[in-house]
Structure 1
Amino acid sequence: MLLRAVVRLLCVLQCGLLAFSLLDPIDFLALQSIRKALDDVPGSNFFASWDFTSDPCNFAGVYCGGEKVIALNLGDPRAGSPGLTGRIDPAIGKLSTLAEFTVVPGRIFGTLPYTLSQLKNLRFLGVSRNYISGQIPPAIGQLSGLQTLDLSYNQLSGNIPWSIGALPALTNVILCHNHLSGSVPLFKSQTLTRLDLKHNDLSGSLSPTSLPPSLQYLSLSWNRIGGPVDRLLTRLNRLNYLDLSLNRFSGRIPGNIFTFPITNLQLERNSFFGPVQPVDQVRIPTVDLSHNGLSGTISPMFSTVQNLYLNNNRFTGQVPASFVERLLSARIQILYLQHNYLTGIEINPTAEIPVSSSLCLQYNCMVPPIHSACPLKAGKQMTRPASQCNEWKG
């Protein structure tokens, strides 16, 4: 019995030494520390293959190049998988050739290790939809080759380090749905295509050169950012998605923005003011300019928009006839003009709005000539009080 136990122990030691020899010892020990700090949540078996008596390069989520770990993807990436719990161990910084580090959605808590700054080869850092708290380590700004930074849907607080904005190779920055505050840093990367900072507590203003013209996707909604953006937006002519809603932006909306290759333009619930004059027919499918201080007449250039929200502004005058034509032919799906100071629309009271279209005209300086369903938020009053209309005319 004693001899058998000794032989078994020697076999275990030999297997351990074999695994150790296949992977750099520093990386081997780092993986052990990372494993000890994490566990599968009930229903997950991601770590089932992490048996350190075998080659760690065959572990789930571990990818090697030679004797070094070059990518670490923690957790089962399949949709709906339960994920992991625990903390990210500072030993992550020992994986010196790591180029990609991701964690699937789960219940990982604690702070981001400052040792991430030691990963000089890191190109992709994605730790989203967990419970990471604390601040974003400013030292991440030392990762000069970092291309994608995704820390979205966590509980991060504090400022976005300005050192991150200086990273030269960034292409994607996704920090949405956190508790970040302070101002938006200057982003200098000329390859940055996606910037998503929505649902934070960011404030301050944006300078005309805050963001590079390479941007194609920009979402800053649900923050407290203010000031004019007309000069900034004029430069971002590659945008195909723009959402600045629910902020404190002010000033004029530049007319050329409606020529950008955007599919969804959301500028609602800000403090934009003045007339809006597109330079050409607007080909953007959805335009939301509602809940601002926009004034003047409604440009007929907007009649080619499928879903148009101009409600809760200060528009005056007649609704252009081109809107009526496209509405009745079902080429406009949503036309919300309620809560303005409009004085008329040339539409036959017996006309029938197509079932696929929605028109709302209530609470203007006219009696709506046609009955149509409005959203509940529009209230029950059909016409604005005459005193308000006379005051606005004056």
Structure 2
Amino acid sequence: MHLKLLPTFFSFCILVVAVVAVDNAETSALLSIKSGLIDPLGLLSNWTKNTPYCRWNGVQCDSTGSVEGLGLSRMNLSGKISEEIQHLTSLARLNLCCNAFSSSLPRSLTKLQKLEVLDVSLNSFAGLFPTGFTATGLTVVNTSGNNFVGLLPEDFGNLTSLEILDLRGSFFEGSIPKSYRNLRNLKFLGVSGNNLTGKIPAELGELSMLEKLIIGYNGFEGGIPPEFGNLSSLRYLDIAVGNLDGEIPMELGKMQSLTTVYLYKNNLKGDIPKEIGNMSALVLLDLSDNQISGAIPIEIARLSKLQLLNLMCNRLTGSIPAGIDELTKLQVLELWNNSLTGPLPANLGRNSSLQWLDVSSNSLSGEIPDGLCNGNNLTKLILFNNQFSGPIPMSLSSCSSLVRVRMQNNKFNGTVPNGLGKLAKLQRLELASNELDGEIPADLASSLSLSFIDLSHNHLKSSLPSNILSIPTLQSFMASDNELTGDIPAHFQDFPSLSEIDLSNNNLSGRIPASLASCEKLVKLNLGSNRLTGEIPTAIAMMSTLAIIDLSNNLLTGSFPESFGNSPALEMLNLANNNLSGPVPTNGILKTMNPNELAGNPGLCGGVLPPCGSAISHSIMTSRRSDHIKHIVAGWATGVAAVLAIAIAVFAVHQLYRRWYTVDGCFCDGCDEETSSGSGHAAPRIPAPEFRQR
């Protein structure tokens, strides 16, 4: 060998030795890591000395053959990461996401000087998160979805290259470190879903590059820092369920890039700042479940890109701004549980793709706009507990997108629109506690999708459509407190979905259909306060699912079915005020049932009642009949006395009126004509108490 080539040769030998040494160190480190892992899928089976480690699953090498990436995500791995990982000195990317680790992280991670991306998300890593990272090139740290405890690492504030810091969904406590103000390249900061307390640092308002801030689901103190208005690049703000109080800062109106604001489920007070109308890019706004008061600012109508507006469960008053019906992109409007008044905006839904409207539990009034479903996108129309009046719009019958219609506890009048039964997606129809009259539309019986129908507490007349109780998807049908007549339809065969039937307080007659027993899932049956006759079908008494049965206040005859006592589900049985006779069985629930639920059946005896044929029984029955007669006589006497009292009062008032009119002459000319019996004015009707429930 030429002497001049010796230095080159020695350099080459040194390089080879160094490379071999590095290879040995990295091979040893990787095998040490593997030895600490549980690999049920065998995905690391090629990690052997017989194969170059750059070909091992999940190992990425750079041009020099050094390990620069370790991607072990979604391999169902568990166990413990070895401290030997520190010997992978060129490691830039470590991804352990989406596995089953439950150990702590090795502290030696902090010694990886070239680390750029660290992702250990969606595991069950526990313990303290390692501190002391000195990798100045670290751009991504994702620890979300683990069980880390302790304080948020304050020294993250020294990692000025960080662009993504995701610490969500662990058990970190304490406050957000003020040192995070130094992360001037940060675009994403997430610390939601921890046990953080203290005030939100105003210093976060200095992060001019920040695009997403997700810090809710914690227990902060104080309110939203006004300095957040300086986050000019912020597009997504989520501080929902953060225990915040105070008012919404008007400075938020300066955030022109914001598309999403979630502040729901806090303790925010005061008015919605009108400056919110300056957030021209806003798409999603949710301020629900707070204590916000005052009116909805009309400036919200300037948010032309708004798709979702959720303001429910606050203390808002005043009317819904008319301009909201001009938001052409609005899809979801939820204003329920406030104190809003006035009508719905006249063009609501006419010029937008409205999908969900819920304004229930307010004091809104007026008629329903006819164009709510113009785009045929409306799926949920929820208006209950208001004072809406007028007829139900016929246009709803052609709204093929409807899934839920909940309009109970209002003042709607007229008839139930025809065509609702032909809506292929309609599952829930609630029109109870209104002033509806006319018939139940026959087309409801042709529905193939309705599961819940409630028409109770109206003035519906005529008979039930013959197939109304045989809708194949129907689970609950309620039409109590109406003026329905005729028989109960007997078409129940092969329709076992029904779990509740309530036809009480009507004028139904005829027999109870024995085919009801084919409703294998029926839990509640209320046919009380009608004019039903005949015997109680034995098949119904044998139903194994029935828990509540009310057949009281009818004209039923025959004996007490012994099968009732054998029902394993029966909790309440009311047969009071019928014409049943014979002995009461003593099996099952019948041993302990309340005698009042059998009252008014003078022919019943035994069981929880006095023994059959006893003098006591005869005496008690005689006494009950006597008491019944006395009550009737007393009622007549009271009624006659009341009529006489009213007549005397009317006569006295009339005399006083005549005397005043004669003496003082205070009444205008023509009043007699206006108030005469021929004027055509009907006396005001005092409505029965409404049965309101949310």
Give yes or no for the alignment of 1:127 onto 2:224: no
Structure 1 residue corresponding to 2:341, chosen from 238, 245, 250: 250
2:161 aligned counterpart, secondary structure = strand
- Partner residue of 1:175? 263
Query: How far apart are the structure 2 equivalents of 1:350 and 1:182?
Result: 46
The TM-score with structure 2 as length reference comes to 0.45
Q: Is the 8 A contact 2:205 2:227 kept in 1?
A: yes
Indicate the percent of aligned positions where both proteins have the same amino acid: 26
- Partner residue of 2:317? 226
Structure 1 residue corresponding to 2:184, chosen from 82, 96, 99: 96
Instruction: For residue 391 of structure 1, report the CA deviation from its aligned partner.
Output: 4.6
1:228 aligned counterpart, secondary structure = coil
1:335 aligned counterpart, secondary structure = strand
Q: Is the 8 A contact 2:437 2:459 kept in 1?
A: yes
1:373 aligned counterpart, secondary structure = strand
Larger displacement relative to structure 2 (147-156 or 248-257) = 248-257
Query: How far apart are the structure 1 equivalents of 2:458 and 2:683?
Result: 10
Query: How far apart are the structure 2 equivalents of 1:49 and 1:178?
Result: 32
- Partner residue of 1:361? 455
* Closer/same/farther in 2, CA of residues 326 and 382 from structure 1, 3 Å limit: farther
Query: How far apart are the structure 1 equivalents of 2:130 and 2:213?
Result: 23
Q: Deviations over 1:282-302 (max 9, x none)?
A: 520111111111001111111
Equivalences for 1:78-117 in 2 at 5 Å? 82-117=170-205
- Partner residue of 2:359? 267
Counting matched residue pairs gives 339
- Partner residue of 2:433? 339
| Equivalent residue letter for 1:52 | F
The TM-score with structure 1 as length reference comes to 0.76
Structure 2 residue corresponding to 1:286, chosen from 380, 404, 421: 380
Higher share in strand: 1
- Partner residue of 1:34? none
Equivalences for 1:1-394 in 2 at 5 Å? 44-45=125-126, 48=129, 50-52=131-133, 57=138, 60-61=141-142, 68-75=160-167, 82-186=170-274, 187=276, 188-211=278-301, 212-259=303-350, 260-279=352-371, 281-282=373-374, 283=376, 284-303=378-397, 304=399, 305-323=402-420, 325-326=421-422, 331-347=425-441, 351=445, 356-366=450-460, 369-370=463-464, 373-374=477-478, 382=505, 390-391=685-686
| Equivalent residue letter for 1:109 | T
Instruction: For residue 366 of structure 1, report the CA deviation from its aligned partner.
Output: 3.0
Instruction: For residue 349 of structure 1, report the CA deviation from its aligned partner.
Output: 11
Instruction: For residue 87 of structure 1, report the CA deviation from its aligned partner.
Output: 1.4
* Closer/same/farther in 2, CA of residues 380 and 202 from structure 1, 3 Å limit: farther
* Closer/same/farther in 2, CA of residues 267 and 368 from structure 1, 3 Å limit: farther
Query: How far apart are the structure 1 equivalents of 2:268 and 2:463?
Result: 48
Q: Is the 8 A contact 1:341 1:389 kept in 2?
A: no
Query: How far apart are the structure 2 equivalents of 1:120 and 1:54?
Result: 23
Q: Which runs of 5+ in 2 are unaligned?
A: 1-85, 90-123, 144-155, 470-475, 481-501, 507-681, 688-694
RMSD of aligned Cα (Å): 3.4
Query: How far apart are the structure 2 equivalents of 1:390 and 1:218?
Result: 39
| Equivalent residue letter for 1:225 | L
Query: How far apart are the structure 2 equivalents of 1:159 and 1:350?
Result: 49
1:135 aligned counterpart, secondary structure = coil
1:93 aligned counterpart, secondary structure = helix
Instruction: For residue 184 of structure 1, report the CA deviation from its aligned partner.
Output: 0.8
- Partner residue of 1:37? none
Q: Is the 8 A contact 1:98 1:121 kept in 2?
A: yes
Query: How far apart are the structure 2 equivalents of 1:172 and 1:148?
Result: 5
Q: Deviations over 1:190-246 (max 9, x none)?
A: 111010111111011123223512111111111011211141312322111111111
2:429 aligned counterpart, secondary structure = strand
Query: How far apart are the structure 2 equivalents of 1:237 and 1:226?
Result: 24
* Closer/same/farther in 2, CA of residues 335 and 356 from structure 1, 3 Å limit: closer
- Partner residue of 2:606? none
| Equivalent residue letter for 1:309 | R
| Equivalent residue letter for 2:207 | L
| Equivalent residue letter for 2:283 | T
Q: Deviations over 1:114-157 (max 9, x none)?
A: 11122222222110211122111111112222221111111000
| Equivalent residue letter for 2:380 | T
Instruction: For residue 258 of structure 1, report the CA deviation from its aligned partner.
Output: 2.6
| Equivalent residue letter for 1:258 | G
Query: How far apart are the structure 1 equivalents of 2:684 and 2:180?
Result: 65
Query: How far apart are the structure 2 equivalents of 1:242 and 1:382?
Result: 37
1:140 aligned counterpart, secondary structure = helix
Q: Is the 8 A contact 1:106 1:129 kept in 2?
A: yes
Query: How far apart are the structure 2 equivalents of 1:388 and 1:355?
Result: 42
- Partner residue of 1:22? none
Query: How far apart are the structure 1 equivalents of 2:391 and 2:444?
Result: 26
Query: How far apart are the structure 2 equivalents of 1:210 and 1:145?
Result: 21
Instruction: For residue 59 of structure 1, report the CA deviation from its aligned partner.
Output: 7.1
Instruction: For residue 107 of structure 1, report the CA deviation from its aligned partner.
Output: 0.9
Query: How far apart are the structure 1 equivalents of 2:253 and 2:683?
Result: 47
Q: Deviations over 1:46-98 (max 9, x none)?
A: 86454435557177339x9xx833424242x5xxx534222111111122332
Q: Is the 8 A contact 1:176 1:199 kept in 2?
A: yes
Query: How far apart are the structure 2 equivalents of 1:53 and 1:233?
Result: 52
- Partner residue of 1:5? none
| Equivalent residue letter for 1:126 | I
Instruction: For residue 334 of structure 1, report the CA deviation from its aligned partner.
Output: 1.1
Query: How far apart are the structure 1 equivalents of 2:205 and 2:373?
Result: 49
Larger displacement relative to structure 2 (203-212 or 366-375) = 366-375
Q: Is the 8 A contact 1:83 1:107 kept in 2?
A: yes
